[in-house]
Amino acid sequence: MTSHQLAREALPQKLKRRFKRMLGPWGVFFEGFMKNPVMVGSIIPSSDRTIAKTLGPVNWDECRLFVEYGPGVGTFCRPVLDRLRRDGALIVIDTNPQFIEYLRSTIVDSRFTAVLGSAADVEEIVRAHGHDHADYVLSGLPFSTLPEGVGPAIAAATWRVLRPGGAFLGYQFTSRARAFMERHFKRIDNGLELWNVPPCFIFWGWKDEPGDA
């Protein structure tokens, strides 16, 4: 292959990298969605109103460990860190190495840990980072479109990893996702945020007692 051919093939890659830099986190998010839309769920990050409403019920004074599934480019990470106590911790879990690499390179906070892995393994991940349980777990994963068996496994593992009094916070684009939570959480509060693209349902599943499931 001649040098001219190599240069011609390299040009699209250079243009792609330049375009991503221009878009910033939106470019990373869009590329992640295009590569795996089933796991990302939306082409646009959540709105500020969705973030505020979803995190509204959290008792930050008592939150020592906050876990997030599918953090993407950190749309929720920064608001969580802004609210989290100084001795608290935020662990985010994603199967997309591109998102994990981006988060590790852009969020500099000793309380923050980005893990490449599956949310179904949340118990092992929490223990591996020195914690017995999580106080709150947040998820924007599209439960209704996940591969068969993955959604129920994540919901069950989430219930087990939460402390009594903790909550599973979910923002979804279909109300069907509530069914995955109902198998384990007796008390589920509902919300709806229209100022989001698309509008999303918000669920707060509370682990009121150790034997709730």
pLDDT digits (tens, 9 = 90+) for 34-90: 555 544 444 456 788 999 999 999 999 999 999 999 998 999 999 999 999 999 999
pTM of the model: 0.80
Spell out the CATH class of 37-206: alpha beta
- Token couple for 92: 């985010």
Measured CA to CA, the distance from residue 67 to residue 71 in angstroms comes to 10
Indicate the angle between helix axes 25-35 and 3-23, nearest 10 degrees: 110
- Token couple for 18: 């330049």
Residues of the chain with pLDDT under 70: 1-45, 197, 209-213
User: Coil, helix or strand for 196?
Assistant: coil
Q: β-pairing, 200-206 with 187-193? A: antiparallel
> What pLDDT shows up at residue 198?
77
Question: In the 8-state DSSP scheme, what is residue 47?
Answer: P
> What pLDDT shows up at residue 12?
62
Radius of gyration for the chain, computed over Cα atoms and rounded to the nearest angstrom: 18
